[in-house]
Structure 1
Amino acid sequence: MPVVLHGRAEEQAQIDRLVDGAREGRSGALVFRGPAGIGKSVLLEYAALRATGMRVVRGVGIESEAALPFAALHLLLRTGLDRIHALPDAQVRALGAALGLRDAPPQSRFLVGLATLSLLSELAGDGGLLCLMDDVQWCDEASVDALVFAARRLGAEGIAMIFAARPDLPVTGLPEHCLAGLDDTAAAALLPADLPPQVRERLVQESAGNPLALIELPAALTPEQRAGRLSPVGAMPVAERIQEAFLAQMAALPEAARTALLVAAAESSGELATLVAAGAPLDGLEAAERSRLIGINGTAVGFRHPLIRAAAYQSASVSRRLAVHRALADALISSTSPDAADRRIWHLAAAALGPDEGVARQLEEAAGRARTRGGHAAVAAAYQRAAELTVDPVRRSARLAAAALAASDAGLTDRAAALAASATPDVDDPAMIVALTQVRAHREVELGTPLAAGRIILDAALRVAARDPEQATWLLVEAVRCAWFAGDAPLAGQAATALHELPATGSPLVGQAVGLARLLAGDLAGGLPLTGGALDPSGLAGLGVPGLTFAAGAALATGRAALCEELTERVVADCRRSGMIGWLAFALQDQGFAQGMQGRYGEARATLDEGLRLATDLGHEHRVIHLTCCLAWILAHQEDVAGCRARAEDGVRRADDRKLVLAATLGRWALGRLELGRGNSDAALEQLERIPPTGFGALAAADLVEAAVRSGRPERAGEPLERYVTWARHVRQPASDAVALRCRALVEQDEAHFLAAVRAHDGDDQPYEQARTRLAYGEWLRRARRRADARTQLRAALEVFDRLGAESWARRARTELRATGDVPAAPRRAGDPLSVLTAQEREVVRLAAAGASNRDIAAQLFLSPRTVGYHLYKAFPKLGITSRAQLAALAGVAAAERRRPPARAGGVRADVPGGRYWV
């Protein structure tokens, strides 16, 4: 081994740092990428040798098992499954079902990933854990999802995870190191010393520095070639050259050994009894082992290198391969292995020469078993192969549709779309049309093109409306949602018109959808009553996660932040309980924004950060962009200038590229509000005037009014003022009433509107807006030389801005106070005792204060219990506490601060009308 490690000092140092960190309680992950034979497996061996005193678990991807869900994960965890019952019950069920240890309904792949993280944390104990996974490119998709999910969430568990994979493995979000060939000096050191110089030079050149080639190619040379009589050869990939060397070794073996190698290559489980039952001679296996092509460990047979397996299988004739698969299928009939039935049907499928309905039905059964284990990629593979063996076009399309849905659930969007497209010509059944539509639309939404998704959905809804109006209704509501994200009024209008033509379902979602369509068309007076009227809490009680998520978005559009948060809290709880992670990211997006609208920026940031991590894991580009812009909007209030601008500019650029109008609106609103708070009114006006006036843009119109007035262009405030006043008149929320009055006061410079605005803010849920109103009124009073009255308003505004951490606005209030002759107090940040924590620490502390255990918190936040403990360990000194018991009191202070109404300012005139402020 030390010889093979010539020229890998950098890689060894990386491994040393990872392993040493795990011993000290720090976790980390690393992916080694490189072509076959480049030395990835040897580096894993080096890591295992370095892990003295630590527990080591190892797994390997096997190409022929890529269709078996969680096969690679089972191989990795099999020696530690005795600790599975230390996990929370939901995780025990999820991981047990995934690994075939118990019968259970399908589980979320992310819940399986969390259970994997928790089990690895248990196995780490106090001495650390090294987790090695080789040939990840041949692991089944479900196993890769679970392992990468765990690796991305490593913290303070003491776990080192090292993956080895080919260059094209689609895994992102983990540190990587690409292995190149050895330099000439290191390469020459691996060659036999007795080779002539010209042969050594030729081998170094032909191997391209590939260590395995440097070791295997000399062994394949004839005596004449070793003596230096080499003929010119054409350039070939190194892997192919290595495979040729293995083939040369196999050609020298007796027939029994070649037969044994073929059987072992076709049945990758390595079960000695199964191989022998299928015709692998024991003496042939022994001969292959003596040639170092395979290894036999007890009753398990394994190839020394994956290319040996490939060479053994691909060099055999088609007739021999078919015969071996049939023999293996027969041998597995008597096997007691839990996955024997699935392996048997796959061998039968591999042996099929043409359509075979019997085998296709058995593949459907295998798909059903895979679904109960959450192996969506395996479900897709089984249905796809079943379709290939099906003659009847309708049945074939049904199986392709099932494969497409499973591939979509597995996140294989391109493959899902290809399967759906191949099924479409034969499809006429409404249920199948809906299923295929979901696949195609889901792909478009993930790619960040909801407009294309909406058109696909609308077309399908019109096709199924006559035969299944209820399904058509839900599709049309979904089309409106897509149009809302894309800011496309024509699409929303078509969907709304089609909804009117369908029989009534009584669902509040229909009214919300039609209302949102009218808002996109600029009809505030027609859209807001419909949308708001369909948000009665009693009418929403029976909705599931998708419906509640739609209603939460409608609540935001009508300025009802508290209702949005209430609805999304229900959705988040349901998603965490059921593992609906895709919907969870969606719900966290709206929940975080609603928290921000209510001035709880620390909570909002933590919520949105979690949503962004999940959306990134899912690969949902649209959701990532939207969450990025939402985060920018929060940071604008906290005056994180660099963070806000970076996120907003990146989010807006990507949103504009994909015509994600709603996301771009949020990003531009964030930039406008940032500049407005900093006193850069011209820059704010430039950003805010680029926001479309329809849809969600109505909410930003108030900032546009203020930017126009403060920049000395009051003539540009007229239209946005009327727009916002119309919006506020119909949503009838205290905060929007007050902001509308503030806008009138700024444009008309009328104190009566300022006074009415201050009164209207009493009892609303948006302290930030109240503080802005008092600041604007205080500035007006100071300019009117009424300094004493101005101080009252400015002090009230400053107190709120300080409490919220809105530093730029607080700085403006201080400047105004000084201009009145007052000496403002220093910033008071103690109003939010949790403000000293990071976003992750804040979430952990919040849940711990509510009485949740470390395991409960870990399950909710997709962390390991050890990482939760580490966050609490870091948070306690920051908060000035020493025990968990003190958290509840501290969190109570924070909650009281959130609920405490802002200080009331004196001087509100009793003669100001309190009813209609709009005329």
Structure 2
Amino acid sequence: MIQLPPVRLPTSVFVGRATELAELAACVRRPPAVALLEGEAGVGKTRLVRELLRLPQVAARTVLVGACQPMRTPLPYGPVVDILRETGDLLAGVADALPPVTGVLRSLLPELAPLLPPEPERGDVAVERHRVFRAVRELLAAYGPALLVVEDLHWADEGTQDLLRFITSPPPPGLSAVFSYRREEGAALPGSGYRLLADARNSLLRLRPLDPGPVAALAADLLGTAEVPEDFALALHHRTAGIPFVIEEVLREVRETGATAAPNPTVLDLVDIPDLLRDTMSDRLARLGPTVSAVVHAAAVLDMPATEHEIGTVAGLPARRVGSALIRALAAAVLHETDTGRYALRHPLARQAAYICVPGPQRRRLHARAAELLAAAPDPPVVRLAHHHRRAGDLTDWVRKTLAAVDQATEVGDTALALHLLEEALVDDALPSRARNTLAVRLSRVALNAIAHSSTVERLGALLRDGTLGRSSRGEVRLNLGRLLMNQAGRMELGQNEIEMAIHDLRDRPLLAARGMAALCVPSFGARPVGFHLRWLDEAVSALDGARDLELIASVRANEVTALAQTGAPAMWAAAADLPGSARSSRVRRQLSRAYNNLADAAAWLGHYSAAREYLRTGGALLVDADVPFLSMLATGTGLRLDVAVGRWDGVSAAAAALIEQAGEMGYLAADARLALAWLSLARDDRDLASRHLDDALAAAPENAPVSLAVATGRVAIALARGDVAAAAVGAARAVAEARHKGNWVWAADLVPRATRAYTRSGRVEEAADLVAEYVRGIEGRDAPLAVAGAELARGVLASARGCHGEAVARYAAAADHYSALPHPHAAAAAREAAARSALDDGDTATATRHLTAATTTFADLGAARDEARCRQVARRFRRGTPRGRRGYGDDLSPREREVVDLVAAGRTNRQIAQQLYLSPRTVEHHVAKAMRKLGLTSRAAFEPATG
């Protein structure tokens, strides 16, 4: 086998070419055969040949490999001479059998002259040429079964092309040949000289660029990861057109950025065009000449499929020269026809490489012509016009067209494009200061009604810090940034600070300042007491005197009804009834939609579940033609919380996951989804999963008061379920302090019963009693049915801890009735289970059976399997042989006392018994004392298992 010429060895995985490799191998294994391998530059022809030569059935043969070089004056028969001069070892074994004609090669192959026959007498040029061709063919035939590979045939001189054509028409019996070439470089191809064998022992393979799947596999291998994200692979495929060489060069640059673990599409925007690709494009354009270069430069500046007329106009060439230049650019595969009569560079990197080759002054002229061309269109593409004006140095028209493009994008709902255009313009150092104020205000307005990313928030903050904005513009940007921080980012304190500063800046614009005051009215935002928000509400309402701005009026009224609803004020119903169901103005409809969605959120926390559903429907209908994505997402989250509360658990997990994915980096918009998942996990007794969802919910909305209290409540519930009374008590105390500071007890409907249980289990019964009393006072006069149910549940816990089991049964039953009316079936079933346990403690098995049966049935209907199993286990313990009705046991042990005695005799502590029997430690202590008295014992150590 002949040593292969030096090449860059492949370092990446071989992907996407299995079919072509199999076809190529099948062809060359059956000599005589000719395989033609066609493909554009970088598509992987050389790699395919190298993989062919690695195959055992090919590597065992004599392999002769050479390549043509892009030389201005090629050497005669250059690649064939290079191949043969390395075959001395082969020639030594067959020299005696060579025909005399091979002696003509002595002058071409002086290294082999001693092994060749004597050189024959010279004839004329034609005779000598024919002898050389025959001699090469005879020499190859003498080498026996062999594979001849000649790469880059498009660079071969005419003599080499003729020689190879002679050798393979047809090849010697034992010879297979593989020739690779680029069609666009004008190589002599089948149909213009090469004649393939008539039978099946030949092949023409056209290599295409890789599909996205192989591109992903290649990228993962080159970046050293198991896989790459799908969006990254698709972006890489688009950027490189699937050409392996370009992919490898781009990923070489990506590796230098260090973003290889989980690359995202934005990384590709940070990558400079590879030097090798840029130099390759520069060389190709230089060879094609100035006219073709002008056409390619125009296509690169236009950056879209363009007609011959459009390219010629931008290039500034006469029509008669454009056509021929296009033909040459197409033949060289620099340009490609993308549609009938439209042409462009193959992929974005090729366009970038060609664009870089355009000198600066010429580039500005081309952009100016492109802007003039596009402006004359019936429907001018304003985004592209803005781009061309900027590149041409026309800053006035750039700003004007940018604003027009933003308006157009906003009008069709493409707020992401609008934000991108504004942010891109605002980081441009050439932007005039007056325009900077205009664009900054516009960015803040668009961001309010879009799903704004962290980059937008950072850009607005930077604009406020750099001191370039006037006071009025600064005030409006501050106001909108503050609302954005609260509504989408969940950063309440920071947002409120920005708005308070905005109100100061907007003292000459009182109506806009009033909008800021209205934004400070929402009690759920931040940790400040409710009184802070209600004071700002009074200021906002006062500022409306004489106002005619319908959107402003709707904004203030929306936040007024929100404040009333979030505090459970009975006046909320009248205020809600005064809200119109629609409006002519889309901006007013947005405010109304926000009002109804806020009402739904507040009603869900209060326990008005039916009303919440109705408000969601009204708000959703308003959103249909007043598209505000973040409002829609918040409404979806409220709906998920409702679904979990009312027991509609099917589909919640999938819908919550979809909302979390949609929210992306704006996690606040999916906080309710995470909370719903936590509640669902708690109801299913999956405490570890619930803990993770609670952590995520708090991380997403750390400054949303009801969410924060709900997370704290969930953590207390988990600690109680695990028997960690210390953690439960400490967590409860902190959450109670938060609720007390906020001053809105209606949000503590779930917290207070669990805090009461944590306090009583830790022996702080009187502190629990004070909390319950404070809570009852705090919700007095509030229209909050969930809080009323919570109050009854907390009273039941307190009564049970005091040993007042009859009262506990009544309180738990009342709580269950309240929960059922909401409906909140899981909470109702849990309250009935608690009533049953208190009834058992009171010796009333009939009442216990009734409540326990109802709880078991509800848990089963919900699919709360562990809750159902626990209830059935409790029922089995006391039903066997237990008479109906309330009875006293005198000096005999009650069924519950017998259970406790058995566990004490088994060595259990009071806390362990309480955890196993779902009782409070205080109740267990009460049972132990009564059992000791009845059995006449003075020490726990004297207990033996009860026998009856």
Specify if TM > 0.5: yes
Q: 2 CA distance for matches of 1:612 and 1:41?
A: 45
**What is the aligned-residue identity percentage?**
16
1:794 to 852, 859, 867: 852
1:351-396 C-alpha deviation (Å, 9 max, x unpaired): 225x43x554344334433433434354456667888799985555
Name which of structure 1's ranges 801-810 and 358-367 shifts more when overlaid on structure 2: 358-367
- Asked whether the equivalents of residues 555 and 564 of structure 1 are also in contact (C-alpha less than 8 Å), the reply is yes
Q: Give the 5 Å matches for 1:8-47.
A: 12=16
Unpaired runs of 5+ residues, structure 2, are 1-6, 21-40, 48-207, 237-243, 254-270, 546-552, 583-590, 883-948
Q: Give the 5 Å matches for 1:287-436.
A: 287-296=328-337, 298-332=340-374, 335=377, 338-339=379-380, 343-344=384-385, 346-352=387-393, 355-356=395-396, 360-380=399-419, 394=434, 396-406=436-446, 409=450, 411-415=452-456, 417-418=458-459, 421-422=462-463, 425-429=468-472, 433-434=475-476
- Asked whether the equivalents of residues 449 and 659 of structure 1 are also in contact (C-alpha less than 8 Å), the reply is yes
- Asked whether the equivalents of residues 295 and 302 of structure 1 are also in contact (C-alpha less than 8 Å), the reply is yes
SS in 2 for 1:601: coil
Name which of structure 1's ranges 265-274 and 805-814 shifts more when overlaid on structure 2: 805-814
Provide the TM-score with structure 2 as the length reference: 0.56
Q: Give the 5 Å matches for 1:408-807.
A: 409=450, 411-415=452-456, 417-418=458-459, 421-422=462-463, 425-429=468-472, 433-434=475-476, 437-439=479-481, 441-442=483-484, 446-464=488-506, 467-469=509-511, 471-481=512-522, 484-489=524-529, 492=533, 495-496=536-537, 498-499=539-540, 502-503=543-544, 509-512=558-561, 528-529=568-569, 536-539=576-579, 544-575=592-623, 579-602=627-650, 605=653, 608-616=656-664, 619-652=665-698, 654=699, 659=703, 662-674=706-718, 676=720, 684-691=728-735, 692-694=738-740, 695=744, 696-697=747-748, 699-710=750-761, 712-733=763-784, 736-749=787-800, 750=804, 751-752=806-807, 754-755=809-810, 758-759=813-814, 761=817, 764-765=821-822, 766-807=824-865
Q: 2 CA distance for matches of 1:12 and 1:494?
A: 68
Q: 1:778 to 1:508 in 2, by over 3 A?
A: farther
Q: 2 CA distance for matches of 1:14 and 1:737?
A: 71
Q: 1:14 to 1:602 in 2, by over 3 A?
A: farther
1:150 corresponding residue in structure 2: none
- Asked whether the equivalents of residues 212 and 242 of structure 1 are also in contact (C-alpha less than 8 Å), the reply is no
Q: 1 CA distance for matches of 2:46 and 2:808?
A: 76
Give 1:567 deviation, angstroms.
Answer: 1.5
1:128 corresponding residue in structure 2: none
Q: Give the 5 Å matches for 1:132-147.
A: none
1:448-489 C-alpha deviation (Å, 9 max, x unpaired): 4232122212332454366334x44443333343x6243333
Give 1:277 deviation, angstroms.
Answer: 2.2
- Asked whether the equivalents of residues 776 and 791 of structure 2 are also in contact (C-alpha less than 8 Å), the reply is yes
Q: 2 CA distance for matches of 1:274 and 1:567?
A: 54
SS in 1 for 2:344: strand
Q: 1:533 to 1:209 in 2, by over 3 A?
A: closer
Give 1:740 deviation, angstroms.
Answer: 1.9
Provide the TM-score with structure 1 as the length reference: 0.58
Q: 1:161 to 1:314 in 2, by over 3 A?
A: closer
Q: 2 CA distance for matches of 1:15 and 1:757?
A: 73
1:820 corresponding residue in structure 2: 878
SS in 1 for 2:343: strand
SS in 2 for 1:731: coil
Q: 1 CA distance for matches of 2:652 and 2:597?
A: 17
SS in 1 for 2:305: coil
Q: 2 CA distance for matches of 1:515 and 1:341?
A: 46
CA RMSD, Structure 1 to Structure 2 (Å) = 5.0
SS in 2 for 1:796: helix
Give 1:782 deviation, angstroms.
Answer: 0.8
Q: Which amino acid aligns with 1:265?
A: A
Greater RCO structure (CA 8 Å; 6+ sep): 1
- Asked whether the equivalents of residues 294 and 301 of structure 1 are also in contact (C-alpha less than 8 Å), the reply is yes
Q: 2 CA distance for matches of 1:669 and 1:276?
A: 71
Q: 2 CA distance for matches of 1:267 and 1:798?
A: 71
1:282-323 C-alpha deviation (Å, 9 max, x unpaired): 333334334432234652222244343223322322211112
Give 1:509 deviation, angstroms.
Answer: 4.2
Q: 1:9 to 1:381 in 2, by over 3 A?
A: closer
Q: 1 CA distance for matches of 2:769 and 2:44?
A: 67
Q: 2 CA distance for matches of 1:443 and 1:573?
A: 26
SS in 1 for 2:833: helix
Q: 2 CA distance for matches of 1:160 and 1:498?
A: 63
Q: 1:552 to 1:487 in 2, by over 3 A?
A: farther
Q: Which amino acid aligns with 2:760?
A: V
Q: 2 CA distance for matches of 1:736 and 1:369?
A: 48
1:775-801 C-alpha deviation (Å, 9 max, x unpaired): 222212211222223212222222222
Name which of structure 1's ranges 505-514 and 304-313 shifts more when overlaid on structure 2: 505-514
Q: 1:598 to 1:461 in 2, by over 3 A?
A: farther
1:100 corresponding residue in structure 2: none
1:265 to 300, 316, 319: 300
Q: 1:402 to 1:814 in 2, by over 3 A?
A: same
User: Which has more radius of gyration?
Assistant: 2
Q: 1:719 to 1:380 in 2, by over 3 A?
A: same
Give 1:411 deviation, angstroms.
Answer: 3.4
Q: 2 CA distance for matches of 1:371 and 1:165?
A: 36
- Asked whether the equivalents of residues 219 and 228 of structure 2 are also in contact (C-alpha less than 8 Å), the reply is no
1:185-232 C-alpha deviation (Å, 9 max, x unpaired): xxxxx99xxxxxxxxxxxxxxx99649999xxxxxxxxxxxxxxxxxx
SS in 1 for 2:520: helix
1:425-453 C-alpha deviation (Å, 9 max, x unpaired): 444558x8446632454257544423212
- Asked whether the equivalents of residues 403 and 416 of structure 1 are also in contact (C-alpha less than 8 Å), the reply is no
Name which of structure 1's ranges 410-419 and 776-785 shifts more when overlaid on structure 2: 410-419
1:198 corresponding residue in structure 2: none
Q: Which amino acid aligns with 2:312?
A: V
Q: 1 CA distance for matches of 2:210 and 2:407?
A: 29
Q: 2 CA distance for matches of 1:461 and 1:164?
A: 55
Give 1:725 deviation, angstroms.
Answer: 1.9
